[in-house]
Amino acid sequence: MGIKPLSEYTRGQNWRRRRRTGRPLGHRALGNRLKTVFIENGLMRAGEPDQVVGFFRDLGVTVEVVDAKKEFFSALKGVTDPEEKREAITQAFYKTVFGRIVRDSGAKHLLQGTILTDVDETVAGIKRQHNVFEQLGIDPKETFGYQIIEPLIQLRKDGVRATGKALGLPATLFERIPFPGPALAARVIGEATPDRIETVRKATVVVERLLETTDAFQYMGILHEDRVTGMRDGKRDFGQQIEVRCWESVDARIATPTQLPFEMLEKLAADIISEVPGIVSVTYNIATKPPSTIEAV
């Protein structure tokens, strides 16, 4: 038996390394028959499309980024009511963007990660989660032209995390803080214009940087619609307000605010005011869910 070329040893090691980190559920089930897309709707956090593509690349999965910023911002134009905003996002995702992808690719099914909390809150009429249809009597096949497969529908966030762990996925993936389907539009009270989304995106960078070591369930910045009188460089500045929320929860059904040290609150205010143009007021939410909800919209 001769000595194998070095590349063969390396190939073997790569294979073993990939096996140890596990593969996402859809790819285990469908392999190359699954086309994976990331919708860049303009509402994502700073650097998120590249980060998500990178996570999947490390797992051996190619993700196609679909630029749909125009479609989403035109659907959100002039919309201020929270439920109408959620509906506009649902239509932009499922009718306009996925409708086109499915038509162009010839796919018949959309595989997505709806979970039980999404269904509960939608059916209870608390908040229309962007990804719930059948439970509202909407047939996706009839309405959008494709069927929807939801393998995680019986699980809540804690069950999804246990599944990720059991699949051998990296903890950086299944321990990521939850982020809602309507993305930063759920964190802008009033109209979600590109400028206002950019403001909340900058605030989110600060909030995530400062609170990632807290081990809290979820944390976020929210841009308020009301302005308040502030002062900058000795002049009046009728500026904008950011509300910070940081939640303790297991499954998002009930939640309590994290008891952050006052020095941390001061640092949040100082960094948000210096890094986010136009902000003159920073507040911290101390209400529980219920009656509050985790996202503001």
CB of residue 164 to ligand XMP, shortest distance in Å: 16
Pick from 81, 86, 136, 146: nearest CA to 110: 146
Output 146 or 219, the one with its CB closest to ligand XMP.
219
CB of residue 50 to ligand XMP, shortest distance in Å: 21
DSSP for 112-181 reads ----HHHHHHHHTTS---TT--GGGT--HHHHHSSEEE-TTTT--HHHHHHHHHHTT--HHHHTSPP--T
Burial category of 220 from C-beta neighbours within 10 Å (exposed 0-12, middle 13-18, buried 19 and up): buried
Output 127 or 202, the one with its CB closest to ligand XMP.
127
CB of residue 187 to ligand XMP, shortest distance in Å: 9
- For ligand XMP, the binding residues (CB under 6 A) are 117-118, 121, 127, 129-131, 178, 180-182, 186, 218, 252, 289, 293-295
The region that residue 282 occupies, defined by phi over 0 for left and psi between -120 and 50 for alpha, beta otherwise, is beta
Output 73 or 247, the one with its CB closest to ligand XMP.
247
CB of residue 75 to ligand XMP, shortest distance in Å: 15
Output 90 or 269, the one with its CB closest to ligand XMP.
90
CB of residue 90 to ligand XMP, shortest distance in Å: 8
Output 129 or 273, the one with its CB closest to ligand XMP.
129
Q: Which residues contact 56 (CB under 8 A, 6 or more apart)?
A: 24, 36, 62, 63
Distance (Å) of CA 289 to CA 31, 109, 156, 251:
40, 35, 16, 12
CB of residue 9 to ligand XMP, shortest distance in Å: 43
> Tokens for 101?
């992808």
Pick from 73, 70, 54: nearest CA to 62: 54
Output 71 or 121, the one with its CB closest to ligand XMP.
121
